[in-house]
A and B are shown apart, each in its own frame.
Chain A
Amino acid sequence: MTAYLTALAGGLLIGLSATLLLVLNGRIAGISGIVAGALRRPGLLWLGNVCFAAGLFLGPPLYRLAFGAWPALRLEASPWLLVVAGLLVGFGTRLGAGCTSGHGVCGLARLSPRSMVAVGTFLGTAVLTVFLQHLLG
């Protein structure tokens, strides 16, 4: 039960953050776009992206300040698998122009048909990937 409540509460905060970023700075909270923007040539827009990414990094330490422990994290993937997965996530989110936040949260909230197709596609291949991994053991 608690898992559902914390998931919902965290989701509400994520939605609030995306709303505030749009209302204040006029930007869409798409993490892949923001992180890629932090890799571009230094400038004001770049600095904004770096600040948002730094905030993301500060999220877990703030959680620890509030609750006295780090958030739970289980990571089963081997180092090689992490590298392959990271390459796919980096390349794929740039080619598809968004990830779970840009297409998932913001795109769905904007009722964007492109984002609905993207979310259906990446959820589908992610589910299929986990299924095949378990099948092949």
Chain B
Amino acid sequence: MMTFLRLLAALGTGSLFGFGLALSGMVDAGRVRGFLDVAGAWDPSLAFVLAGAVGVALPGFRLARRFGRPLLEVCYDLPGQRRIDWRLVTGAVLFGVGWGLAGFCPGPAVAALSFVGTPALLFVAAMLAGMVLHDRLVAPRLAGRSAAGGQAGSLPGAAR
């Protein structure tokens, strides 16, 4: 029963997230690129998406911390990584370039699959390939190397 509720919660929150992306204009790749075009015809409206989302999540997450545990799960699954290392920065650099080139980040791209078809499918297929390339080929090697250097366990994702 708990499992069913958890899956229902995942589907429900996912739908709310997807609806929010559609309403906010974040799925509009052209508008996202307008938001990023600071030196040109800048459209600052999408800054309000992040402001609104963080404005709710900041007090929301504080509230969640007050409960000792989530309502449908045994414990919270939070990122344990603290270090700011080259992986974080290099990953963010590459992601930023890809985001700027197309105007899609992962959430809006998955949402766009439902109504734009082929172009979104091309992007998402390539995105999944990039994820698999990292998780299956690159991350295990990096983990091996940093384990030799005495930094085992500093890769989230890789150890699973």
Query: Do A and B come from the same complex?
Result: yes
Residues of A within 8 A of B17 (CB): 13-14, 17-18, 29, 31, 52, 55-56, 59, 101
Let me know if B98 and A48 touch, CB within 8 A.
no
Asked, given contacts A39-B132, A76-B33, A95-B87, whether A60 binds B28 with beta carbons under 8 Å apart, the answer is no
A-B pair count, CB < 8 Å, reads: 492
Compute how far the CA of A58 lies from the CA of B93 in the bound complex, rounded to whole angstroms. Answer: 30
* Alpha-carbon separation in the docked complex, A99 to B120 (Å): 18
Main secondary structure of the interface of B (DSSP, over half): helix
Interface string of A11-47 (1 = CB under 8 A from B): 1111111111111111111011101100110001001
Contacts A11-B49, A94-B135, A121-B96; is A26 near B70 (CB within 8 Å)? Answer: yes
Of all chain B residues, the one with the shortest Cβ separation from A38 is B128
Interchain CB contact under 8 A, B100 and A48:
no
Is B70's CB under 8 angstroms from A101's CB? Answer: no
Q: Which of A58, A76, A89 makes the CB contact (< 8 A) with B95?
A: A89
- The distance from the CB of A37 to the nearest CB of chain B, in whole angstroms, is 9
B146 vs chain A, min Cβ distance (A)? 13
A95 CB, nearest partner CB in chain B, Å: 3
The answer on a CB contact under 8 Å between A72 and B31 is yes
The answer, yes or no, to whether B130 is at the interface (CB within 8 Å) is yes
B48 in complex: contacting residue of A7, A84, A87, A88, CB < 8 Å:
A7
CB contacts (< 8 Å) of A54 on chain B: these are 11, 14
**Residue numbers in B under 8 Å from A62 (CB-CB):** 15, 18-19, 22
Q: Which of B38, B52, B87, B115 contacts A7 (CB 8 A)?
A: B52
Asked if B23 and A63 sit within 8 Å, CB to CB, the answer is yes
> With a CB–CB cut-off of 8 A, which chain A residues contact B147?
none
A86-B130 in contact given A14-B20, A125-B93 (Cβ < 8 Å) = yes
Residues in B lying within 8 Å of A, measured CB to CB: 3, 6-31, 33, 36-40, 43, 45-58, 60-61, 63-64, 67, 69-79, 81-84, 87-107, 109-116, 119-120, 122-135, 138-139, 156-157, 160
